[in-house]
Structure 1
Amino acid sequence: MPATRGVCQWSVVVPWRGSTELRLALLRRKSCHPHPPLCCASSPEGSVSKAPGPLRSSLRATSVSKSDVIPAGDITSTPIPEITDVFPELHTHEHIHQFSLDHPEEFWGQLARSRLEWQREFKTVTAHEPEKAIFRWFPDGQLNVSVNCVDRHARHHPDRVALLWEKDEPGQQEPITYRQLKDEMCRLANVLRASGVGKGDRVALYLPVSPLAVASMLACARIGAVHSVVFAGFSAEALASRIQDAGAETVITTDQAVRGGKVIQLKQVVDAAVAKCPSVRQVFVGTRTESQVKMGPKDIALDKALSCEGTECEPAVQDAEDLLFLLYTSGSTGSPKGVAHTSAGYLLYAATTHKHVFDYRDGDVFGCVADVGWITGHSYVVYGPLANGATTVLFESTPTYPNPGRYWETVARLGITHFYCAPTALRLLLRYEDDWVKRYDRSTLRVLGSVGEPLNHEAWHWFNDLVGEKRCTLVDTWWQTETGGIMISPRPSAPGAPVLPALPMRPMFGVKPVLCEPNGGVVEGMGVDGALCVGSVWPGIARTIYGDHKRYVDTYFSPYKGYYFSGDGAHRDQDGYYHITGRMDDVINVTGHRLGTAEVEDAMMEHPDVAEVAVVGFPHEVKGEGVFAFMILKDHTHESTEEIKNDLRKLVRSKIAGYAVPETFLICPGLPKTRSGKIMRRILRKVAANKPGELGDISTLADPTIVQSIIDAYNENR
């Protein structure tokens, strides 16, 4: 394991003595509400979270003195206004949600005025051209995102911790205050400006989860440049395709990354990618380890460049609809699409959902363990929390390093109040003994969340009952890269409203879910299924696919005229709550029965010996399509393979129907997953159809070698 040090100017490792009895300055306060907030993710009645004492920490760059430590309940900053503060005439969640649909301009306009700091306040709230799929929010307003995320908080409480960097090795956490973040953001913005980067220029970021990654994103926003973060695990080929599509001339990276005890050669990957990208004229290379890397004619040592710049940088004047970032996501055609988000609308939506879905309060420690290379990292590691003046955790490691208790040890040591992760990680941890959770104090947790794919019942109960001790609110959220923020979630809601297992349930303010039939008609009533569409326009919606607005229209607005089409299917139950049934391209038609793959997977996951499962359809001479199940068994199974398969047949038949029982059960060593943890089902469909020569590009998989292992298993069991 190489020696590691802080990135760029943050070469500080703060020793923390003790666990939850020591805490960060300015990180806790008791709720000032005499009654539970109207719209929040509050804990169940009667639950109590143990609040630890303040942390006595020292920083070489910016020390936190004893006078800076404010007792819980005495934080002097102004709390984020509740919805009812902005709209005092609205008294219930139902009234607020209906008002947001009936009067979107007044609703979002008032929130934008009360929650964002404007360089020039807007007069017009919307200027949409729906027939062209052109959407504009606050078009005559001007603001700078970096000012909203950093400056205004550094102005009022400079020593509040903004970033809590949880490095790969446990115990190497490093706090970064808002003052420090502002200084380094400005230094980096000055470096970029001095190097010819200006408004509208695209900058590719290939970085580990670190303060440098956040500062780079904010530095781009500072000067009006457009950042394109690429997950620091993608191959050189995948990185090159994204650099070229964005037309980026500048790349920011580090020498190496460290994740799960392994060193990743980021600079080498960038070198290979840049060799294919003639548009790139400069590569800034920061430092994560003590390694020596080869520097070429385009390479610039970032630490040295930063040392020459000051800590003040005039923010660019940005129109509300100026591009903030591009984020590439997979497309059905196989070519990645650059989803484009703009400044004001995206920031408002990310901040509002962060506040109200998670019931964020001053002093909370927000632990979203997503990588900043994904939309979850953008919205709920960086922009949403920082816009709200929060302390946000940067998690550099993996769920199982150095052992399966890593998440919960981190929760105990940092006093995390909110924990937001992917179902894939939960299903992985389900394979291990419960003691890995029980041995750590989780009393600071108040809200749990899942994101990325439907959460099956077994994982939901494990997360809720074991991790959350049945006292935390669990928000199973549904949203997409294209939506910018959470769209459907159990919270916000009326106080005491139920939270049902494995259901996102309720639409967010301003969101009108609509279920549609294949012919385009709207499915009315309760207890119905359909294509999940949205019949309203919200501020966080992506504005286009970069360089290809026709693809944007064809993908999201042509399938169901007048609606945004998510690509997912959903069920609306008898109470009006929503359940995501999976991607529409994951619907199997078995003897005329439409079957969501998520339904079969959910049923199979109830078997105690099944660790993971992925179900796809394959051509069947009689049924039209058959059901094919790829599955991973837990390490120590209680039954033979054939007994498990027989159990699964009975389980699926009892939970769904006989037609849903898979024709084939294939036990695999792993599943083909992207680096965000999503299963690449098109590969499994080709394997199930015995077409291994038509797999297409597999370079973006976390482990491309797993594909051949699956093919070998298929051939052995034919």
Structure 2
Amino acid sequence: MLPWTTYEAMTAAALTQPETFWLEAAQRITWKQPPATACRVRKDGWYDWFTGATLNTCHNALDRHVENGRADQTALVWHSCATKEQQSITYEALQGRVAGFAGGLRALGVGKGDRVLISMPTMIETAIAMLACARLGAVHVVVFAGYAGPELAARIDDVAPKVIITASCSFQGRTAISSTPALQEALARATHTAQACIIVQRAACPTRLMAGRDYDFHTLELAAPVPPVPVMAEDPLYILHTSGTTGKAKGIVRDNGGHAVALALSMELVYGCQPGDTFFTTSDLGWVVGHSYGVYAPLISGCTSVIVEGSASASTIRTLCAEHAVTCLFTTPTQMRLIRQESRHICPPAPPTLARIFVAGEYADPTLLDWARSYFQRPVVNHWWQTETGWSITAHFFGLHEPEPTNLANEIGRPAPGFRPVIAPALPGEPCGEIMLALPLPPGCLAGVWREHSIHAPDLYLDDTGQYYRSFDEGMIDTDHAVRMLGRSDDVIKVSGRRISGIQIEKIIAIHPAVHSCAVVAVADTLRGQRPVAYVVIDTGADTPPTADDLITEVNKTLGRWTGLRDIHFVEALPTTKSGKITRKALATAQSL
């Protein structure tokens, strides 16, 4: 039960008495040694949470629920869109498999603080590997299963894993892709040599194990089970690489204590979930949403988590929601656009238990959100967070008794507890600019970055004063605390000295019912400095597709001709990252060639 009923009361508590606020929030999880203090400044200038306290994240996700009456409750449901397989596993069964696999890892020499690299698609075994590392106090490093050899080798050299865990294959669509060639190339390229490789053999594409190097995953599960190993709250739980906005991939380090506290709070406060509810995220476990809300947050909160391998269709999502009584669905705007395209002329009733839907990962335009509300007949909201923060910076709070303001329905919401955003305007007097967050960040955010085989303060993210975290996102803050997103800092277009976000133009283009998706980028202009160029994908089967003149006219009517939009390219698809985000930089680069 949350101790506040209104957003104002919650915010005031977090701002005026942060130590009390977070020590009370820390009571949501089980500690070996409870914390006496909340936040402490480190020697390197960054911050640790709940220093001196001890716990085990795996115990919080599994053992305590088994001990407290949830042994027979389903913990994980896995569905493969590629093979059509489906598995469910109870808390007790998952605890047994995790404890056994942790014993197998220990037998291979894995212990507290060792890194374990996991290159696997979304599977039950992926979650088992993550939780087994947490059980031992080892640090898991999950990477996208589709990485080629050079990219995988770079991750190996960066974290120097003692053990590498992979599956014999992953899937592109329904086509099995052997993981062996990429693994072999990565091992040959990397300067670091792992002590062992662990393979999950999949029926679609089994591989031959190399004697002396490779071990079978399921055989290791049969090892003598090990109990959870207590770790310090500030000890690392995992490293997750992100390119973010500063170029080269960085290893974001997440701690144990702050991470568990923040995720436990967020499940009730943001998502309105209670123990026993079912949470469904469509994210790959290799991304931060998969870490936070595919595995850790639901299990720490005693919920059931539904995870999927591959891109789920509208019918698959509806079926899974109905079959497993899903309470909360968490997906991406890209996935929602695919659902809209597939379900153009079909609108069956939403599963009765589905209470609300969240999207994140990139900007969701109001037209898409309005369509989703009409299609699902449920609340659908956007919220903003980053790999670095691990949970939402701004959100809509379904755990509070008061309803969310209707005027915020299409915005990214208001700051979550502990996040204190300010605007750094690019030009004096402008109400918009880069959103920066006052330090310290709340628990659950990055504990540092992994560099040269140790944890360092995230200096690349700090402003010149060292007092603010740079989000590299542009926006504005209203008097009612609402944060309004305008896009990435490098997506802002400067036309004849005036600044406009590409998202502002995208919103207008997206209103046309035949537009599936769009992206606006800046190109050089000898007269204006920069001008916008739009790339538009038309919905398959659209009855009346727009012309370029139609869309330009709408932009001019809404924003004015000063924007200089005159080029619209109709394309079959927009370039995206492996996690589904539109890569506007790729479009801008192609336009300049």
1:122-161 C-alpha deviation (Å, 9 max, x unpaired): 222221149x441111111111110111100011221111
- Distance in 2 separating the partners of 1:319 and 1:484: 19
Look up the equivalent residue of 1:430 and give its one-letter code: R
**Does residue 291 of the first structure (1) align with residue 205 of the second (2)?**
yes
Look up the equivalent residue of 2:104 and give its one-letter code: V
**Does residue 647 of the first structure (1) align with residue 534 of the second (2)?**
no
Alignment counterpart, residue 315 of structure 2, candidates 385, 405, 417: 405
Tell me the secondary structure at the aligned position of residue 291 of structure 1: coil
Check the 8 A contact 2:176/2:204 in 1, yes or no: no
- Distance in 2 separating the partners of 1:97 and 1:477: 17
Partner of 2:335: 425
Partner of 1:83: 2
4+ runs of 1 displaced by more than 6 Å? 548-551
- Distance in 1 separating the partners of 2:28 and 2:317: 32
Alignment counterpart, residue 247 of structure 2, candidates 334, 338, 341: 334
Look up the equivalent residue of 2:392 and give its one-letter code: I
- Distance in 1 separating the partners of 2:456 and 2:580: 25
Cα 1:509–1:660 change in 2 (3 A) is: same
Tell me the secondary structure at the aligned position of residue 546 of structure 1: strand
Partner of 1:583: 488
Moved more, 678-687 or 427-436: 427-436
Look up the equivalent residue of 1:429 and give its one-letter code: I
RMSD: 2.2
Cα 1:560–1:473 change in 2 (3 A) is: farther
**Does residue 103 of the first structure (1) align with residue 7 of the second (2)?**
no
- Distance in 2 separating the partners of 1:670 and 1:386: 36
Look up the equivalent residue of 1:419 and give its one-letter code: L
Partner of 2:57: 145
Check the 8 A contact 2:149/2:182 in 1, yes or no: yes
Look up the equivalent residue of 1:292 and give its one-letter code: P
Cα 1:141–1:575 change in 2 (3 A) is: closer
Check the 8 A contact 2:383/2:395 in 1, yes or no: yes
Q: How does 1:148-187 map to 2 (within 5 A)?
A: 148-156=60-68, 157-168=70-81, 172-187=85-100
Partner of 1:514: 422
**Does residue 485 of the first structure (1) align with residue 405 of the second (2)?**
no
Deviation at 1:484, TM superposition (A): 1.4
- Distance in 1 separating the partners of 2:348 and 2:25: 43
Alignment counterpart, residue 364 of structure 2, candidates 455, 463, 471: 455
Partner of 1:281: 195
Cα 1:585–1:290 change in 2 (3 A) is: closer
- Distance in 1 separating the partners of 2:581 and 2:6: 37
Percent identical residues: 29
1:203-243 C-alpha deviation (Å, 9 max, x unpaired): 11011211111110111011111000001122222222112
Tell me the secondary structure at the aligned position of residue 280 of structure 1: coil
Check the 8 A contact 2:328/2:354 in 1, yes or no: yes
Deviation at 1:497, TM superposition (A): 3.0
- Distance in 1 separating the partners of 2:361 and 2:270: 16
Cα 1:601–1:367 change in 2 (3 A) is: same
Q: How does 1:328-407 map to 2 (within 5 A)?
A: 328-400=241-313, 404-407=314-317
- Distance in 2 separating the partners of 1:539 and 1:105: 11
Alignment counterpart, residue 473 of structure 1, candidates 357, 375, 379: 379
Check the 8 A contact 1:454/1:502 in 2, yes or no: no
Check the 8 A contact 2:103/2:220 in 1, yes or no: no
Partner of 1:227: 140
Check the 8 A contact 2:283/2:308 in 1, yes or no: yes
Check the 8 A contact 2:138/2:237 in 1, yes or no: yes
TM-score, normalised by the number of residues in structure 1: 0.78
**Does residue 540 of the first structure (1) align with residue 448 of the second (2)?**
no
Look up the equivalent residue of 1:506 and give its one-letter code: R
Look up the equivalent residue of 1:173 and give its one-letter code: Q
Deviation at 1:557, TM superposition (A): 1.1
Look up the equivalent residue of 1:582 and give its one-letter code: G
Alignment counterpart, residue 351 of structure 2, candidates 425, 438, 442: 442
Deviation at 1:639, TM superposition (A): 4.3
Alignment counterpart, residue 534 of structure 2, candidates 621, 629, 635: 629
Partner of 1:35: none
Check the 8 A contact 1:609/1:644 in 2, yes or no: no
Alignment counterpart, residue 300 of structure 1, candidates 194, 215, 229: 215
Deviation at 1:550, TM superposition (A): 10
Deviation at 1:559, TM superposition (A): 4.6
| Larger relative strand fraction | 2
Tell me the secondary structure at the aligned position of residue 416 of structure 1: coil
Partner of 1:10: none
- Distance in 1 separating the partners of 2:481 and 2:38: 30
- Distance in 1 separating the partners of 2:312 and 2:204: 25
Deviation at 1:267, TM superposition (A): 3.2
Cα 1:150–1:440 change in 2 (3 A) is: same
Partner of 2:6: 92
Deviation at 1:168, TM superposition (A): 2.3
Q: How does 1:630-709 map to 2 (within 5 A)?
A: 630-639=535-544, 644-690=547-593
Tell me the secondary structure at the aligned position of residue 580 of structure 1: strand
Deviation at 1:117, TM superposition (A): 1.0
**Does residue 217 of the first structure (1) align with residue 120 of the second (2)?**
no
1:489-525 C-alpha deviation (Å, 9 max, x unpaired): 1215551232433211211122222112237x8x8xx
Deviation at 1:332, TM superposition (A): 3.9
Deviation at 1:365, TM superposition (A): 1.3
Tell me the secondary structure at the aligned position of residue 482 of structure 1: coil
**Does residue 237 of the first structure (1) align with residue 150 of the second (2)?**
yes
**Does residue 496 of the first structure (1) align with residue 399 of the second (2)?**
no
Look up the equivalent residue of 1:689 and give its one-letter code: S
Partner of 2:234: 321
Check the 8 A contact 1:528/1:573 in 2, yes or no: no
Cα 1:116–1:574 change in 2 (3 A) is: closer
Look up the equivalent residue of 1:545 and give its one-letter code: V
TM-score, normalised by the number of residues in structure 2: 0.94
Moved more, 494-503 or 538-547: 494-503
Tell me the secondary structure at the aligned position of residue 47 of structure 2: coil
Partner of 1:566: 471
Check the 8 A contact 1:256/1:289 in 2, yes or no: no
Check the 8 A contact 1:477/1:504 in 2, yes or no: yes
Check the 8 A contact 2:282/2:312 in 1, yes or no: no
Tell me the secondary structure at the aligned position of residue 629 of structure 1: strand
Check the 8 A contact 1:203/1:251 in 2, yes or no: yes
Cα 1:553–1:362 change in 2 (3 A) is: closer
Tell me the secondary structure at the aligned position of residue 483 of structure 1: coil
**Does residue 556 of the first structure (1) align with residue 465 of the second (2)?**
no
Q: How does 1:124-143 map to 2 (within 5 A)?
A: 124-129=37-42, 132-143=44-55
1:94-139 C-alpha deviation (Å, 9 max, x unpaired): 1121111111111101111x21111112222221149x44111111
Cα 1:142–1:165 change in 2 (3 A) is: same
